[in-house]
Homo-oligomer: A and B are copies of this chain.
Amino acid sequence: MKERVYNFSPGPAVLPVPVLETVRDNLLNYQESGLGIMEMSHRGKLFEDILATADSNLRELLGISADYDILWTTGGATMQFSMVPMNLLTKGKTADYIITGEWASKAQAEAKKFGETHVAASTEDRKFSYIPSEFSFLEDPAYVHFTSNNTIHGTQFASEPAVGKRELVCDASSDFLHKQVNVEKYGLIYAGAQKNAGPAGITIVVIRKDLLQRSPQGLPILLDYNTYAKNSSLYNTIPSFNVYVVGEVFKWIKREGGLAEMERRNKEKAGLLYSALDASQFYRPNIEKNSRSLMNVTFRLPSEELEGKFVKEAESAGLNGLKGHRVAGGIRASIYNAFPKAGVEALVAFMKDFESKNG
Contact = CB atoms under 8 A, between A and B. Distances in A.
B11 A34 contact: no
Contacts of A14: 36, 39
Q: Is the interface of A mostly helix, strand, loop or mixed?
A: loop
20 contacts: A4-B35, A5-B35, A7-B34, A9-B39, A11-B237, A12-B41, A13-B39, A38-B200, A74-B75, A75-B75, A75-B222, A78-B221, A110-B220, A199-B239, A199-B240, A200-B239, A201-B241, A202-B239, A239-B239, A239-B242
Interface in A241-278: 241-242, 245
Given A2-B29, A237-B11, A237-B200, A245 B38 contact: yes
B12 A20 contact: no
A23 to B, nearest CB: 6
Interface stretch (A79-87, A124-132, A140-148, A302-310): A79-87
Contacts of A15: 36, 38-39
B2 A34 contact: yes
A113 B220 contact: yes
Interface residues of A, number: 68
A34 B32 CA distance: 29
A110 B223 CA distance: 12
Contacts of A241: 12, 199-201, 241-242
Contacts of A81: 221
Given A12-B240, A38-B245, 16 more contacts: A7-B34, A9-B35, A12-B237, A12-B241, A34-B320, A38-B198, A42-B200, A44-B321, A74-B79, A110-B220, A113-B218, A200-B239, A200-B240, A220-B223, A239-B242, A242-B242
Interface of A: 1-5, 7, 9-15, 17, 20-21, 23-24, 27-29, 32-36, 38-42, 44, 74-79, 81-83, 86, 110, 113, 192, 194, 198-202, 218, 220-223, 235-242, 245, 318, 320-321
